[in-house]
Amino acid sequence: MQIPCSIEQALGRKYPEPVVLVTTRAADGRANVMAAAWVSLASSEPWMFVLGIDVDARTYEVITQTREFVVAFPHEGMAKETLHAGSHHGHHADKIKDAGLATQKASIIRAPLVQDALANFECELVEIYRPGDCPLVIGKVVAAHVHEDAGLRRLCLVGPDYRLGGLRPA
């Protein structure tokens, strides 16, 4: 039986949800990383992602300039790095270094791969929509990479207050 409630209260039931890391590299060569939870596939031919990226984020600013970014799936052992990426601003900091993330050269674009991630997707910007208060960034996947260890599991938001962790089948 359903009981009426506030939208925020109902959204409190949304866990678990996966998180991604998004990397960029500005024209001056500086790379950056952020964490995002508003993410979904958006097309299969060609493959695209849709990402909600705050208009005040350094990542948003760089994507509008360079029109490219990497979507990476962190594994369940990367909670600390992902929390750092998701809770600091990148305008005046080297978040990749501060988060303790190793990177690797991508094949096609200039933004770096996250070396320890489960998978990395090099994306070229298609369009930015803004139906509400958050820009929806659409990226076409132009190259993909996986970690050599196929047994890694994805990191998820497992509860409120940015609680991150791994999961196992019930």
Which positions touch a second copy (CB under 8 A)? 1-7, 9-11, 13-18, 37-48, 50, 52, 73, 76, 104, 107, 113, 115, 117-121, 126-127, 129, 131-134, 136, 138, 140-141, 143-148, 150, 152-154, 156, 158, 165-170
* Strand 31-36 with 20-25, pairing: antiparallel
End-to-end CA distance of the chain: 24
Backbone angles phi, psi at 113, to 5 degrees: -80, 150
Which amino acid is residue 55, in one-letter code?
V
Residue closer to a second copy by CB (options 27, 67) is 67
Distance in Å, CB of 57 to a second copy, minimum: 14
- Tell which phi-psi region holds residue 135, choosing left (phi > 0), alpha (psi between -120 and 50) or beta: beta
DSSP class of residue 76 equals: T
Q: Which run of H or E residues covers position 104?
A: strand 103-104
Residue closer to a second copy by CB (options 65, 104) is 104
Residue closer to a second copy by CB (options 6, 92) is 6
Residue closer to a second copy by CB (options 93, 126) is 126
Distance in Å, CB of 120 to a second copy, minimum: 6
